[in-house]
Amino acid sequence: MMHRRFVLAVLPLAALLVAAAPKRRSAPPAPPSPPPPLLPPASIERVALVTELGTIELTLDGAHAPISTANFLRYVDAGRFDGITFYRAMHLAWGDQPNGLLQGGLRDPRQLFAPIAHEPTSQTGLSHKAGALSMARNAPGTATADFSIMLSDLTGLDADPKSADPEAQAGYAVFGAVTAGMDVVRKIWDAPLSQTLGEGVMRGQMLEAPVKVLSARRLPPLPAPPAPPAP
């Protein structure tokens, strides 16, 4: 959560019934466009998610999490994040509020690229701090297009190599952070929840009305800081 589809060209039945007519074969359909390559990202990449409730600006850390960053940008550049939704808001009752995360992504499996390798925080040095951007997944190595934004510090989602639990050992893959628009993230997170949607632990965490991302586009790089004056 890739299917390669093959199309068979079939001659019309009428052509088989008219022996005197020259046989004409229709041109085969054009093959589907190949997915954009998973290109090495720059050290810092910026993306704007324009949602129904406002704009969220993201900074992706291609230096420390190149696989997850390149994967996210591939969906952006292919236009496959246009129309996705934020659909889950996990509210944690303990700790300082707001406490939890917001999750969004691409719910159509036909639009997914191949899963990516897992980049644990023990390898990247990143952490699930408030505003962090993290890949959603099932087992490690299954992440595709779904991602989460932390509303609070949730460092328990970081990889813990000393844990006896394989899931805790792997943790989740942080690859960037929200750098503008956390008020929009909070507004979406505060939206009404359904008491019936969702399965398992996600029951009661699904938004009653998912919030649509109208567009996802790269932003120009920030200008380099001025060089220090010569001594």
Tell me the domain boundaries of the chain.
44-107+118-219
Question: What CATH number should be reported for the domain whose range is 44-107+118-219?
Answer: 2.40.100.10
Produce one character per residue of 64-79: b if its CB has 16 or more CB atoms within 10 Å, e if not: bbbbbbbbbbbbbeee
User: What pLDDT is stored for residue 114 in this prediction?
Assistant: 96
- Residues 125-161 as b/e (b if ≥16 CB within 10 A, e otherwise) read ebbbebbbbbbbbeebeebbbbbbbbbbbbeebbbbe
**Tens digits of per-residue pLDDT, 115-173?**
999 999 999 999 999 999 999 999 999 999 999 999 999 999 999 999 999 999 999 99
pTM of the predicted structure, to 2 decimals? 0.81
Contact 172, 147 (CB under 8 A): no
36-81 confidence digits (pLDDT tens): 666 677 789 999 999 999 999 999 999 999 999 999 999 999 999 9
